Amino acid sequence: MSGSSAALQPPASARKPERHPDAPAPGELIGAHYEHCFGCGHGQSHGLHLEVRAGEGVSLTAEFTVRPAHQGAPGLAHGGVLATALDETLGSLNWLLRKIAVTGRLETDFVRPVPVGTTLHLAAEVVAVAGRKIYSTATGRVDGPTGPVAVRADALFVEVPVEHFVDNGRTEEIQAAMKDPDQARRARAFEVNP
Average pLDDT over residues 180-191: 54
Q: How far apart are CA 93 and CA 118, in angstroms?
A: 23
Q: How far apart are CA 5 and CA 118, in angstroms?
A: 30
Answer with the residue of higher pLDDT: 66 or 48.
Answer: 66
pLDDT single digits (tens) 82-131: 999 999 999 999 989 999 899 999 999 999 999 999 999 999 999 999 99
Answer with the residue of higher pLDDT: 5 or 155.
Answer: 155
Q: How far apart are CA 90 and CA 55, in angstroms?
A: 13
- The CA angle 58-9-81, to the nearest 5 degrees, is 65
**Which DSSP helix (H) or strand (E) runs through 59?**
strand 59-65
pLDDT single digits (tens) 29-51: 987 766 767 666 677 777 776 88
SS3 89: helix
Residues in the chain: 194
Q: What is the structure's pLDDT at 31?
A: 76
CB count in 10 Å sphere of residue 44: 15
pLDDT > 80? residue 191:
no
pTM to 2 decimals? 0.82
Q: What is the structure's pLDDT at 193?
A: 45
Q: How far apart are CA 184 and CA 43, in angstroms?
A: 18
Average pLDDT, rounded, for the chain: 84
Q: What is the structure's pLDDT at 194?
A: 38
Give 187's contacts (C-beta < 8 A, 6+ positions apart).
Answer: none
